[in-house]
Amino acid sequence: MMMTPYRPGRKGGNFYSGSPVDRGAQDRGDAARIAFYLMGGETLFVPYWRGRHLIIQDGTESARIELPTRRATMMTPEFLEQANWVFLGYLDERPLFMLDLSLLDHPELMFPRARGTFRELRPIAGLLPADEAAILAQARGMAHWRAHSQFCGNCGAPNQADQAGHRLVCTADPTHLHFPRTDPVVIMLVHWQDRVLLARGTRFGPESRTMSALAGFVEPGETPEEAVAREVLEETGVLVGSIRYHSAQPWPYPGALMLAFTAIAQGDALRLDREEIAEARWLGRDEVRNHAALGFTLPSPTTIARRMIDDWLGDGPG
C-alpha cells in the first residue's frame, strides 16, 4: 500500500507554494519501483517542452494544467531512455513525473487525446489554481536543472541520472555528484516613516511601468539579512536597519527561492545605480493605491512583492 505521511497544504501561503504533491523522497532510491511507475498505465506526467507546459484554457478567466496518464500517451520505452524525466512524488497517491519533451519538434503528437496546448507559464500563471501552479514550479525547476547539468562541472564528462532524477552522477568519476540547485534571492520592502520605496529596474526595458520592491541575489559568504542591506545600499544609496523576515516564495523563472524581508531606512535620500535602477520613488499608501493615475503599475498578484505591498497597505493577509 502506498503511504503518504505528509500532505502539505497552501493555507494562505505565497503563490507557487503549498504544493499538494507528496514528494516521496523515501522512494527515489528504489529503481525497481520507479521503473514500474514509469510503465504504469495510471501514472501521471507533467509534460514540459522548451519552457512551456500543457495547459487547458477554455476561456479567459481560468486555466488548468493537463496531467496525462501513461495510458493516454504515445510514449515508448525508447523515448524514456533518451528524455529527461524526474519523479516528482505522489499526487492523490498516484505517481507523478516531470517529462521533458524538448527533444521533439511536435510534442503534441505524444498526447493525441490532449485538450491542452503547450503554453508559456508566466503570462497565464494567475489563471491557474494555486496548487497547480505549485506543481509546475517544482516541475520546471527540475526540468531546467536537468537540461543545464548534462555534463560534470568538475571534469566535463557526461552525467547520468540517479535517485529518480534527483541526483546526477559523473560517468567518469562517480564521486562527482550533482544535486538540484535553487538560487536564493532577497526581496525587500523598505520603509521610511509612512512611505515605502518602490523601484523600476532597467532589465525590464523602458516600456515597463511596474514599480516593485528591490531585490537581488545572495552572494557567497553572506546571510540574507546582509544581502538585504547590501543590495539596498548598492542600488539606491539608502542605509537600512531593523531587517525582518516576511515570507518565502519558490520562483520558477527558472529556479529561485525568493526570501522576503522588510527593512527600515535611516533616511530618504536616494542615490540610484542607473545600471540597475531606472526609477525609484518613496510612496505613501494613497499614492500606491492610486498608482494608475500616477502612471505606474504594481507587480502581478502572483508575486511575493505584491503580497508585501498589499500587506503594507492593509489589503493582504499579513
Residues 213 and 130 reside in one and the same domain: no
Residues 206 and 94 reside in one and the same domain: no
**Tens digit of pLDDT for each residue in 148-194?**
999 999 999 999 999 999 999 999 999 999 999 999 999 999 999 99
Decide if 11 is inside a domain. no
Residues 207 and 264 reside in one and the same domain: yes
CATH of the domain at 255: 3.90.79.10
Residue 71 has pLDDT above 70, yes or no: yes
Decide if 248 is inside a domain. yes
Residues 72 and 141 reside in one and the same domain: yes
> In the chain, how many domains are there?
2
Residues 132 and 199 reside in one and the same domain: no
Residues 197 and 77 reside in one and the same domain: no
Domain residues for the domain of 76 are 25-148
Share of the chain above pLDDT 70, in %: 95
Decide if 197 is inside a domain. yes
| The dihedral formed by the CA atoms of 53, 184, 148 and 16, expressed in degrees to the nearest 10 | -10
Q: Which of 148, 169, 200 is the last residue of a domain?
A: 148
| Mean of all residue pLDDT scores within the chain | 93
- Amino acid letter at 200? R
Arithmetic mean of pLDDT, 71-84? 90
Residues 303 and 196 reside in one and the same domain: yes
Q: Which of 133, 148, 163 is the last residue of a domain?
A: 148
Decide if 241 is inside a domain. yes
Decide if 164 is inside a domain. no
pLDDT band at 287 (very low <50, low <70, confident <90, very high): very high
Residue 114 grid coordinates? 490532449
- Between 135 and 2, the higher pLDDT residue: 135
d(C-alpha 229, C-alpha 49), whole Å: 39
Residues 6+ apart with CB under 8 A from 177: 167, 168, 169, 170
pLDDT band at 3 (very low <50, low <70, confident <90, very high): very low
Residue 2 has pLDDT above 60, yes or no: no
Residues 141 and 220 reside in one and the same domain: no
Q: Which pLDDT belongs to residue 219?
A: 97
How many CB atoms neighbour CB 50 within 10 A? 15
pLDDT band at 1 (very low <50, low <70, confident <90, very high): very low
Q: Which pLDDT belongs to residue 206?
A: 82
Residues 88 and 131 reside in one and the same domain: yes
pLDDT band at 12 (very low <50, low <70, confident <90, very high): low
Residues 144 and 211 reside in one and the same domain: no
Residue 43 grid coordinates? 501514472
How deeply is 240 buried, as exposed, middle or buried, from its count of CB atoms within 10 A (0-12, 13-18, 19+)? buried
Residues 134 and 210 reside in one and the same domain: no
Decide if 73 is inside a domain. yes
Decide if 116 is inside a domain. yes
Decide if 176 is inside a domain. no
Arithmetic mean of pLDDT, 207-215? 95
Q: Which pLDDT belongs to residue 266?
A: 97
